């Protein structure tokens, strides 16, 4: 039987496992079809391309950062051509945005009395795509906060001083990149944004208008009833459904690779459009 996980992260962005460690865990968890979807980079897929036999069906993917109505939104691109000009452009542009955003967040946090954020977060990320989790990890190590989640609660999370969404490209732009790369665009964890249900529906309408094709109906750590609600929205807007844990690290036991609520039967699964080898 097939077991899909179409949303997870490696150390190429803010995940803890290397691409090969993630593949090993996926097989341990009996996943047959895995999409690695790092934030704004396909580096993991470039690394794994040279492996002869992974022992599972690896689907290319990316989780692109964008903004809609001044709110940061994540769009997953699945089954994309990682060598396409659109993906190369997206990576280059978003890499630049992430650098600029880090500088801006560091500046704002410096005004609050926290020094060394820029260099510290950069060192945490190394050559990988830098994000707020790297800032949070540095702040913990430097004794500025007790934990990563405290760093998000106080300084980095939605609506806090370090939540700088204004630099991201528009929702329409990232959907266009995914489509130009031959992929399927999916709204990641639609229930997790800081917005009312009616605003969420307006965001989904804009996404569909821009050429987006699917919603992530099932994600790890999702409130009860959310997948049924999202399945209804999929039916209304003729969108397909995707599933994925959004796994980042084995040290967050509340999100396990391959684990998410059951997909409602009436949904049209996004993998129907993927060619299986
Ligand atoms: P960024 O990609 O830099 O905007 O950072 C967003 C990432 O931070 C998400 O993909 C999560 O991995 C992580 N994150 C978001 N909120 C929290 C939180 N409250 N606690 C820990 N990690 C979080
Ligand atoms: Mn993340
Ligand atoms: Mn996300
Ligand atoms: Mn994610």
Compute, in angstroms, the gap from residue 131 CA to the centroid of ligand 1.
8
Compute, in angstroms, the gap from residue 42 CA to the centroid of ligand 2.
14
Other CB atoms within 10 A of residue 126 CB: 9
Percent of the chain topping pLDDT 90 = 94
Q: Is the pLDDT of residue 274 over 90?
A: no
Q: What is the pLDDT of residues 145-189, one digit of tens each?
A: 999 999 999 999 999 999 999 999 999 999 999 999 999 999 999
Pocket test for ligand 1, best of 16, 76, 128, 132 (most atoms within 8 A of CB): 132
Q: What is the pLDDT of residue 77?
A: 98
Q: What is the pLDDT of residue 253?
A: 86
Q: What is the pLDDT of residues 244-255, one digit of tens each?
A: 999 999 998 889
Nearest atom (ligand 1) to Cα of 158: 16
Q: What is the pLDDT of residue 276?
A: 66
Q: Whose CA is nearest to atom 17 of ligand 1?
A: 152
Higher pLDDT, 90 or 50: 90
Q: What is the pLDDT of residues 180-219, one digit of tens each?
A: 999 999 999 999 999 999 999 999 999 999 999 999 999 9
């Amino acid at each position: 039987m097939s077991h899909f996980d179409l949303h997870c992260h490696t150390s190429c962005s803010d995940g803890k496992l290397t691409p090969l460690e993630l593949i090993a865990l996926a097989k341990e968890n009996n996943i047959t079809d895995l999409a690695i979807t790092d934030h704004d980079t396909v580096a993991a897929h470039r690394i794994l391309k040279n492996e002869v036999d992974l022992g599972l069906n690896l689907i290319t993917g990316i989780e692109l950062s964008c903004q809609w109505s001044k709110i940061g939104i994540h769009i997953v691109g699945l089954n994309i051509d990682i060598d396409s000009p659109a993906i190369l452009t997206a990576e280059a542009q978003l890499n630049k945005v992430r650098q600029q955003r880090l500088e801006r967040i560091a500046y704002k946090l410096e005004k609050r009395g926290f020094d060394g954020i820029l260099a510290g977060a950069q060192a945490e990320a190394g050559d990988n795509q830098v994000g707020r989790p790297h800032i949070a990890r540095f702040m913990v190590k430097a004794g500025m906060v007790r934990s990563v989640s405290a760093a998000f609660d106080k300084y980095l999370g939605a609506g806090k001083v370090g939540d700088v969404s204004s630099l991201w490209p528009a929702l329409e732009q990232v959907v266009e990149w995914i489509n130009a790369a031959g992929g399927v665009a999916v709204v990641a964890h639609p229930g997790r944004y800081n917005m009312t249900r009616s605003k969420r529906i307006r965001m989904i309408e804009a996404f569909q208008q821009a050429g987006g094709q699917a919603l992530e109906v099932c994600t790890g750590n999702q409130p009860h009833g959310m997948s049924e609600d999202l399945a209804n929205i999929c039916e209304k807007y003729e969108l397909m459904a995707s599933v994925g844990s959004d796994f980042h690290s084995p040290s967050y036991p509340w999100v396990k690779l391959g684990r998410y609520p059951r997909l409602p039967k009436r949904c049209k699964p996004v993998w129907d459009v993927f060619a299986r080898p």
